[in-house]
Structures are given as structure tokens and as C-alpha cells.
Structure 1
Amino acid sequence: MSTMPAAIATGLGKWSCDEIKIPSIEKGKVLVKTNLSSICGSDLHITYMGWNVSEFPLPHGYPGHEGIGNVVDGGDTDYKAGELVLTVPNIWQSKCFAGYQLIDTQFLLRMPENIPESHLLMAQQLGTVVFGCRRLPSLVGKTVAVIGQGSVGLFHDFMLRRMGAHKIIAIEPVTERLQAGKNIGIDHAIDVTGKRATEAVLDLTGGEGADLVIEAVGSVETLNQSLKLVKLFGQIAAFGLPPSADKVLFDWDTFFRKCVQMHSVFRGQDEPGLPAFKLAVDYIERGEIDMAPFVTHQFPIWDIQNAFDLADARTDGALKVSLSF
């Protein structure tokens, strides 16, 4: 076989799939046959909102960065044909929405046997959450508000509980997603957004706000809402990607007056040896987190338009939408 299916974003919210040539092996790289890839919220921001996009069409396979597959050709590396690997974000070169990927070894992680590939695939996003959580202070006795209960928010619920958070408050208007948070073990579920959600969090915290806020949506509104939810001298972890790479409106006055510590979550894939992703795989392998509820929908790559439309609509109980090859 010399060709492969490769999805291509041709415009805002527009996808198609072509048959293109399989890339040839290069020095220091590994050729991986993609078995499954999944859609990340950042993929939606890039292809449905135009985040950091100068023009369409985008390169074939881009921006897919959550993938799992088998090594076809290890080239001059120590990877052998047949090995199952997780492909972590190669950021600007990520091309998981194609049947084969040519990828540097620093973005590969060998996977264990006898675990569903669809479950192991979730280690990519869980790994980014693990990376972010390792930057947090002790949460013993602390109250945490999580904005959003998509897969990122839910993975935070899992990690925050493990880290000793005393109270986890989740904000999510989609019923199925909020129920998923309850299943993981959140303490308070808020099914409204905006001002009403802010008031609910303040009521639950005696008017003080949360010690830590996780922004797991990626909108200007929720970014600024996090400043209203956090307490004086509190902390905010901004995980969600904004809708635009341009400057966004920011409530500097509240940020300044509350003396908030705020950081973004990015570059877990740049840690040598990928320790955060290894820990995520370990959680899955030991059965400490059940990935079955996260793997909700799967489409063949040729049906990528419907897959993305579902992921964007967040209907039918969709959490992680995957693509098969």
C-alpha cells in the first residue's frame, strides 16, 4: 500500500478526506500507522474558530495530536515494527488525522498489552492534565472550582480528588457531562453558567470564593469568570484554549485587586521522557481510572465531518469522539 486516508480542514468547520501518499521514513523519525485518533477541544478552536490559522486549507492530518497506533518502520531508531505507541502532541507538526504519521521519537510512548487501545488513547489528554496538576500546590483541605465538565474537566476531577482537594465544585450546563462528574466524585454540581454559577460558588464558599479555579472551557467569558470565582490570594489554572490567538479582553482590575496567581497549562510533551503521560498510562493500566465512560463515539476517518460536528455540538452524551482507520 502506498497511499493513506488523510483528513483536511478546508475552511472554518469544513472537513473532507483525501487519499494521499504515505510519507517515507526519514533519519531520526518513526513511521506509525494510526489506529485511532481523538478530537481535542483545541482542534475545535483551531478548525471551527480559526485559532492561530492564517489560511485554509490546513495540512493533511493537522491538527490531530491525540493518536495511538503501531510502528511500521523504526528507521534508525530503537523502535521496532509492530510496537504499539501513543503519539503525544507534536504541536505544529501533529497529524493524527491521517492513516500514517512520521514522528520524532521524543513524541512517542510505548504502550502496554491487553488494554483496549481506545482506553490507552485517553492517556494523551489525561497526561496533559497530570502535567498541569503537578504544578499545583498542596490541595489538602482546599476548595476547587472546575469550569467545564468535558473530558479535561473530568480528568481534573479525578486528579484533584487524588491530590487531596477537600471540596470540588463543578460548573457544567450539559446534563450528561455533569452526571459524569458526579460519577467521578465531585462534591457540588452547578448546572447553570455565567452570573448564576458565580453566585452559586460564592454561596458554597461563604462568599470567599474557591482556593483554586480550573478553567477547562476556553472562552473569554469563562476566563474572566474564573477571576470572580477565585478567592483573595487564590490561584487559577488556565487550561482551555481561547477562541482566538488575538488579544482577548481580560478583567485586569479583579486580577490585580485579588492578588491572584495564574498560569497556563502547556508543554507537557516537552518534558524529557514524557513523565506526565507515563503516569497517565499507569493510572489506566492499574485500573485507577475507568476510561470506558469517556470513549463515547467513534467514526471512520472518511466521516470526519460528522465526527467534528458532534464534538462541536456536545450532544448525544458525547465526551471523547474518536476516529478509526
Structure 2
Amino acid sequence: MLIGDMYAPGKVRLIEVPEPVLPSEPPHGCSGQIVFQPETTCLCGSDLPYFNGWNEWPIELGHSLHEMIGTVVATNGKKWKTGDRVLAVPVAQQGLAERFILDENRAISVATNVPEEQALMAQPLGTVIFALKKLPSLLDRDVVVVGQGPMGQLFNAALRNLGARQVIGIDLVQNRLETSPQMGATATICNANTDPVTEVKKILGGRLPDVVIECVGHADQQFNLCIDLCRPEGQILFFGVPPEKINDLRWRDLFFKNISVYTSVGPDFSRDFPLAMQWIKEGRINVAPIITHRFPLSRLQESFELFRDRKEGVLKVIVTFPALGK
């Protein structure tokens, strides 16, 4: 079978490896395992550091893919049966493979009343729901979302669903902001040539927002901008995956504004992902506007390059595996 090999910065190829062998009994402490076969998948910003090459975590075979729907092709547990279609999340983002073994509890049922690529968005949306549960009530609050990539867009939608009064999207890339109103943003700011703090105050009648959400992360993180944007005694939710160190962080400014900082990683498979699937199934959130490009697995290199370079209005990139056509 084929597995992904990110063998050099900006390069990915598919190489042959043996099929995974499912043990007859699950290991101690595990209720069961499945052999999962990805079929409909999509790229995430947290996959890009592996593609770009970095030295903070090791890059291994199977990196990097973790948002996927597919089929259970074997099991030694009781939760699923062969042939079930599930949304699954591999460990450590090592899901760039035609098949792999997974704990049966890292999978959930798939809504069947919406296109499968939309049901797939329950994975990233689940991480948004998990993060927002950490904040006080968002009803009637003004929120700024820094970063209007796919995750920022899902935050827009979730915030409006939870009753935020104003949802202001900020991004350096103008064409991303064209999607933001469809996803729930009440206003947008392109900060490539505009001071976002001044513009936010204009929108909010001289005030700063109650909550600022950082949806950029990695080397381009915008923590200091979030400090500037947040009102005294407000909250910052740092959702983007941070680099190991942020050397120029203005912690004293944050300190004297009495800002509370929240972080978020590791959603609950029994609560957050199923709730996200429920929201999509019930039509509470329309995720269709963020799905912009589709590629077969044979064009994986091209799909990663487009996603990395933020061209052609790209947001979510769907990558389909050969098994989908069987």
C-alpha cells in the first residue's frame, strides 16, 4: 500500500510499504482497534509545518493528514463493523496512508444527509467547539477573529451560532475575507495596508472587542496583535498551534491589560466531534463556502503547494483517495 513521505522541505511523495496487520486482540487498556481506509480527506494548516519542513517535531512516514472520512475494513473490537463509514482522526497526524490501524474510539459516525465533504468538516469544527467551550458565554459579545483561513471561517460561523453580537474577521489576504460574511462575519478588515486596531474601534464605536481569537499560529503567529486588539480585562483564545518559543511576546502589555489567555488542544471524541457533526447535519452551520478545491491523491504535491501558497482563493482542499472510486 501507499504511504506519504515528506522527504524534503516542500516535497511529498507516495511510497510502498506493507499493509498494516491488525492483532487478533486489542492491546491492554484498549477496547478495540480498526483498520481504517481513508477515502475523503482534506488539508489543514497544522499539516503545513510537516510539508514545509521543521525541526520542532520529527517528520515521519504518514505525515501529515488527519481530517478524513473512510471505511472500517477490519476490526478486533465491537464498536464498529466491517464496511462502516466513519470520520476518524489518526494519532499524531500520521494519516497520509491508504490504510492504518486506529483505536476504535478515535472514530465517529458520519451524517448521511449532507455531502460527505461537508460532513468531513466536523473534524475541524469539533476543534472549534472544544475551544469555544473554554470561554465565558459569547452571547451579545464582540469578537475579533485574527486569521480567516479555514479555521477562522469556522470560528466565524460558530460564534454567530452561539450569539455573538459582532464577529470581525481580520486577514492579510483580501480574497479570504470575501468568504467571511458567508460564514458569519459581520465585518472584515484586511490588515495588509490598514491598522486593524483603528479599524476595529471604528466598527465598535470606539471600543475594543471582548474576545480576540488567534487563528494563525506557527511561524506567522499574531499574539502581539491580539494583545493590541483586546480590551482591558478581555480574553484571548490562542487557537493557532504556536511555535515552541515566541521571543518578542509583549507579556507586560498583556499583564497590565488584565487579559485572560486560553489555549486549546485535544477535543473529546465522545462530545466535541459528534456535536460538530450534529450541527452540520441539522443545518445550524453551512460549511460549504469554505470548500474551495478538490484533488485526487495522485496530485498530492500540487494540492499541498496550492494550500501553502494561498492562491486561487483557496480555503479547504479536499483530497480523495483511490478507494473512494471502488
Residue 101 of structure 1: aligned partner: 100
CA contact (8 A) 1:97 1:301 kept: no
- In the TM superposition, 1:10-159 aligns within 5 A as 10-26=7-23, 27=26, 28-50=32-54, 52-54=56-58, 58-90=59-91, 92=92, 94-159=93-158
CA contact (8 A) 1:220 1:249 kept: no
- Cα-to-partner distance string for 1:175-216 (whole Å, 9 max, x where unaligned): 332111111232211122487122211333344421000111
- Cα-to-partner distance string for 1:261-280 (whole Å, 9 max, x where unaligned): 00111111xx3x43111111
Q: Summarize the Cα distance change of 1:282–1:221 in structure 2 as closer, same or farther, 3 Å threshold.
A: closer
Q: Which runs of 5+ in 2 are unaligned?
A: 27-31, 322-326
2:310 aligned with 1:311, yes or no? no
Instruction: Point out the more displaced range, 131-140 or 284-293.
Output: 284-293
Identical pairs, percent: 32
- Cα-to-partner distance string for 1:135-176 (whole Å, 9 max, x where unaligned): 111122211011111111111111111111111111123233
2-side partners of 1:223 and 1:240: how far apart? Answer: 10
CA RMSD of aligned residues (A): 1.9
- Cα-to-partner distance string for 1:202-239 (whole Å, 9 max, x where unaligned): 33334442100011111555111000000000000001
Residue 264 of structure 2: aligned partner: 265
Instruction: Point out the more displaced range, 189-198 or 276-285.
Output: 189-198
1-side partners of 2:320 and 2:4: how far apart? Answer: 12
Q: Summarize the Cα distance change of 1:253–1:104 in structure 2 as closer, same or farther, 3 Å threshold.
A: same
1-side partners of 2:220 and 2:175: how far apart? Answer: 24
2:295 aligned with 1:296, yes or no? no
Q: How many pairs align? A: 313
Residue 271 of structure 2: aligned partner: 275
Q: Summarize the Cα distance change of 1:120–1:9 in structure 2 as closer, same or farther, 3 Å threshold.
A: same
CA contact (8 A) 2:90 2:102 kept: no
SS at 1:259 equivalent: coil
- Cα-to-partner distance string for 1:108-160 (whole Å, 9 max, x where unaligned): 11213343221111110011001111111112221101111111111111111
SS at 1:232 equivalent: coil
2-side partners of 1:259 and 1:66: how far apart? Answer: 36
2:234 aligned with 1:237, yes or no? no
- In the TM superposition, 1:169-318 aligns within 5 A as 169-193=168-192, 196-218=195-217, 219=219, 222-242=222-242, 244-268=243-267, 271=268, 273-318=269-314
SS at 2:231 equivalent: strand
In structure 1, give the amino acid aligned to 2:14: C
TM-score (norm 2): 0.90
Q: Summarize the Cα distance change of 1:276–1:78 in structure 2 as closer, same or farther, 3 Å threshold.
A: closer
In structure 1, give the amino acid aligned to 2:134: R
CA contact (8 A) 2:79 2:104 kept: no
1-side partners of 2:210 and 2:135: how far apart? Answer: 11
- Cα-to-partner distance string for 1:281-304 (whole Å, 9 max, x where unaligned): 011111222232222112222321
**How far does residue 20 in structure 1 lie from its aligned partner after superposition?**
1.9
2-side partners of 1:305 and 1:207: how far apart? Answer: 46
CA contact (8 A) 1:32 1:102 kept: yes
SS at 2:179 equivalent: helix
CA contact (8 A) 1:7 1:302 kept: no
CA contact (8 A) 2:161 2:284 kept: no
In structure 2, give the amino acid aligned to 1:48: N
SS at 1:267 equivalent: coil
1-side partners of 2:281 and 2:55: how far apart? Answer: 35
TM-score (norm 1): 0.90
Q: Summarize the Cα distance change of 1:114–1:141 in structure 2 as closer, same or farther, 3 Å threshold.
A: closer
- Cα-to-partner distance string for 1:47-103 (whole Å, 9 max, x where unaligned): 31516234xxx322223111110000012333101101111252x2x3221111210
In structure 2, give the amino acid aligned to 1:277: F
